[in-house]
Structure 1
Amino acid sequence: MKEALIKLHISVFLAGFTGILGILISLNEGLLVWYRLMITVVSLFALLQWKKKLHHVTPVQVWWMFGIGALIALHWVLFYGSIKASNVSIGLVCFASVGFFTALLEPLFTPKKFSWIETLLGLISLLGIWLIFHFDARYRVGIALGVACAVLAALFTVLNKKYVHIAPPQTMMLYELSGGLVVLTLLMPIYLSYFPVTSIFPGWKDWIGLLILSWLCTVLMMDLMLQALKKVSAFTQNLSLNLEPVYGILMAFILFHENKNLNASFYAGFALIALSVVLQMARIGLPHIRQKQVSVREK
């Protein structure tokens, strides 16, 4: 169990590091995501072929996974766009509002009933984002992109949950990211016509960042998380994943000194978002803990 928890937290730390790499890589958000997808898909395909874990899926299942992958790709573009238009801290704080949008969307796509409690907790997050939105007009584009990113993250999370039975997680991820790569490749000429660049090719420093982003923060992160999930509960996983923005913001403070550019409104907004996350985890966790205590007593 201890080894599984270590692997889980390493995977969450790597997920939090993606925002840092988004600043360090000089490519615009569209090209950054395209290269990330390309390297990840090729690497993951080779890994699954080597381990002989690539499972067969039907054409209909491929279409579903390609559609979800398109949402993931667009989510990543908006996420890095948010960071590049503002900073790592604001991008990650806006991403933390994903719980609110999940509470709204999940009843529409799954049998789960609408929860007023989850919606109210999500509204606390939105109030936090509103405070941040008003603290500095320079960051409003980044905040808007961050909120849109959270909406897409909630949508593909809900759809993933609905169609998780389609294939094993690694195979599903390969097909989803392949779909994202295909869609982004088709959209790239239009994207570059609106956001032209002097060169579409990364420099050597960008290649290093892209390889770290793809191999460590995507393939390795996913592998460690899947290993950990064999031993830890879903509750522990969800609780740990909520630390992703915290890790990323702390790293941004240390590496880029972003805390010097943020005022009291940001911290007040962040505190509200953190409060909503803590209350949600307490709401889910208390029954879980009580059930475990009852089970121990019965033994």
Structure 2
Amino acid sequence: MASRNDYFKLHFIVFLWGFTAILGKLVTIPAVEMILYRALLAAIGMCIVIAVTKGTFAVTRVELIKLLLIGAIVAIHWVAFFGSARVSNVSVSLVGFATNSLWAALLEPLFNRTRIKKFELLLGLVVIAGLYIIFSFDFHYKFGLLLGILAGFTSALFSVFNAKFVRSIPAFTITLYEMIGVFLTLALFLPVYKNTWAPDHTLHLVPSLTDFLYIAILAGVCSVYAYSVAVELMKKISVFMMQLSLNLEPLYGIAMAMIIFKDKEKMGINFYLGTLIILAAVALYPLLKRRYDHLYTEKK
């Protein structure tokens, strides 16, 4: 069972992930190159952490292949998330990503062969409604919206897979091989990217010192630490609760952006209404889950 400390850790790492939007804006090189360096530095960081903590690098060949493939899913998620904002705007990207809780409500029962819980589907839809109220966006950005939804889908997908692996493999080990998977996937993708989507068909593989510093923070704090803690928490917290809490990420990101970039624009009533709806959905989940599980146990 998850404790209050576990839920505090969950929301703290969601807060850190909200900071990725700030760092992503500060970094000047394109998203694919940025993610490539992020994965490389994160993998190096995980090697150091495992060595210092005397953890294990050992996995079976089958486990290694599966973890690398999950890393490929993480790569698609990151490219879709950052790419959505690049081809449209941040609002479209975040609204698309908000579908992660809905995807989790569908995918978790599918892979675990359990019944879909109606209240999880309902809360997923409530969260999407809250974000829709906050972020008004133009439906002309169809491709950007599709990328955002892909980011939400892949986020739920790799969370479901990680929830299974964390039962038998240490969180740090999982994170290491998945970061390697992200790096290898993007490295293999670079030739295609260069000839299709790269600006001026040129790769920007030499970041400035400032860019490198921001990417290092992104890799160390937002990837090595936050990602490992998230995988560890999956032992106690359901995938759906993880995904539902992740919907606070854009709210944290906006709040930090206003502080760091000193945005003078005040938020309208729609922001506060949407925030209230999302917070209510996150707060209600543990209560509804406890009641639902209790009723289910009584019926059995």
TM-score (norm 2): 0.78
Q: Deviations over 1:63-117 (max 9, x none)?
A: 1111111101110111111233345455344323211001111222112212222
Aligned equivalents of 2:272, 2:92: Cα separation in 1: 11
Q: How is 1:59-208 mapped onto 2 (pairs within 5 angstroms)? A: 59-88=61-90, 90-127=92-129, 135-137=137-139, 140-197=142-199, 198=202, 199-208=204-213
- Which runs of 5 or more residues in structure 2 are unaligned? 295-300
Going from structure 1 to structure 2, the CA distance change for 1:103 and 1:287 (only over 3 Å counts) comes to closer
Q: How far does residue 60 in structure 1 lie from its aligned partner after superposition? A: 0.6
1:49 corresponds to which letter in structure 2?
Answer: A
Q: How is 1:222-261 mapped onto 2 (pairs within 5 angstroms)? A: 222=227, 234=237, 238=242, 243-256=248-261, 260=265
Aligned equivalents of 1:42, 1:56: Cα separation in 2: 16
- Given that residues 90 and 143 in structure 1 are in contact (C-alpha distance below 8 angstroms), is that contact kept between their aligned partners in structure 2? yes
Aligned equivalents of 2:48, 2:64: Cα separation in 1: 19
Q: How is 1:32-47 mapped onto 2 (pairs within 5 angstroms)? A: 32-47=34-49
Aligned equivalents of 1:132, 1:145: Cα separation in 2: 19
Going from structure 1 to structure 2, the CA distance change for 1:114 and 1:100 (only over 3 Å counts) comes to same
Going from structure 1 to structure 2, the CA distance change for 1:182 and 1:81 (only over 3 Å counts) comes to same
Matched, 1:213 2:218: yes
1:110 corresponds to which letter in structure 2?
Answer: N
Q: How far does residue 25 in structure 1 lie from its aligned partner after superposition? A: 0.8
Going from structure 1 to structure 2, the CA distance change for 1:122 and 1:3 (only over 3 Å counts) comes to closer
- Given that residues 92 and 248 in structure 1 are in contact (C-alpha distance below 8 angstroms), is that contact kept between their aligned partners in structure 2? no
Aligned equivalents of 2:253, 2:158: Cα separation in 1: 22
Q: How far does residue 13 in structure 1 lie from its aligned partner after superposition? A: 2.3
Q: Deviations over 1:153-176 (max 9, x none)?
A: 111111112333341111011111
Q: Percent identity?
A: 36
- Which runs of 5 or more residues in structure 1 are unaligned? 290-299
- Given that residues 175 and 227 in structure 2 are in contact (C-alpha distance below 8 angstroms), is that contact kept between their aligned partners in structure 1? no
Aligned equivalents of 2:126, 2:5: Cα separation in 1: 35
Counterpart in 2 of 1:292? Answer: none
Q: How far does residue 200 in structure 1 lie from its aligned partner after superposition? A: 2.6
Aligned residues: 287
TM-score (norm 1): 0.79
Q: Which moved more, 1:273-282 or 1:214-223?
A: 273-282
Q: How far does residue 53 in structure 1 lie from its aligned partner after superposition? A: 0.6
Aligned equivalents of 1:265, 1:95: Cα separation in 2: 19
Q: Deviations over 1:210-269 (max 9, x none)?
A: 011011222233466678x59x9638x858655433311211233346784987777766
Aligned equivalents of 1:158, 1:2: Cα separation in 2: 22
1:80 corresponds to which letter in structure 2?
Answer: F
2:16 corresponds to which letter in structure 1?
Answer: L
